[in-house]
Amino acid sequence: MELKVKLSARNTLSGKVVELKMGQTTSHVKLDIGGGHIVTASITNEAVDELQLKVGDHAWAVVKASDVMIAKDA
């Protein structure tokens, strides 16, 4: 399956929804992208409903970040 939308994000990871934990306002979606790698995303419950996400669905993790920071104890 191919993602058929245009995005400014250059990093998309295709996978299968393997776990969906809904909280009060936020859901944690675990996406198996293969090779033993799982990506976890926190999205709103509203987004889960709009996307009609469920375990077993094929989906994409879309990564768009302008900064990555590293911290260490002083």
Say if residue 41 is exposed, middle or buried (CB neighbours under 10 Å; 0-12, 13-18, 19+).
Answer: middle
Per-residue pLDDT, 67: 73
On whether residue 71 sits in a domain, the answer given is no
Q: Name, in order, each residue with C-beta under 8 angstroms of 2's C-beta and a sequence gap of 6 or more.
A: none
Q: Average pLDDT of 60-73?
A: 81
- Structural domain boundaries enclosing 26: 11-63
CATH code of the domain containing 50: 2.40.50.100
pTM: 0.79
Domain membership flag for residue 5: no
Q: Give per-residue pLDDT as tens, 37-66.
A: 999 999 999 999 999 999 999 999 988 777
Give 2-45 pLDDT, tens digit per residue. Answer: 667 777 777 888 999 999 999 999 999 999 999 999 999 999 99
**pLDDT recorded at residue 3:** 62
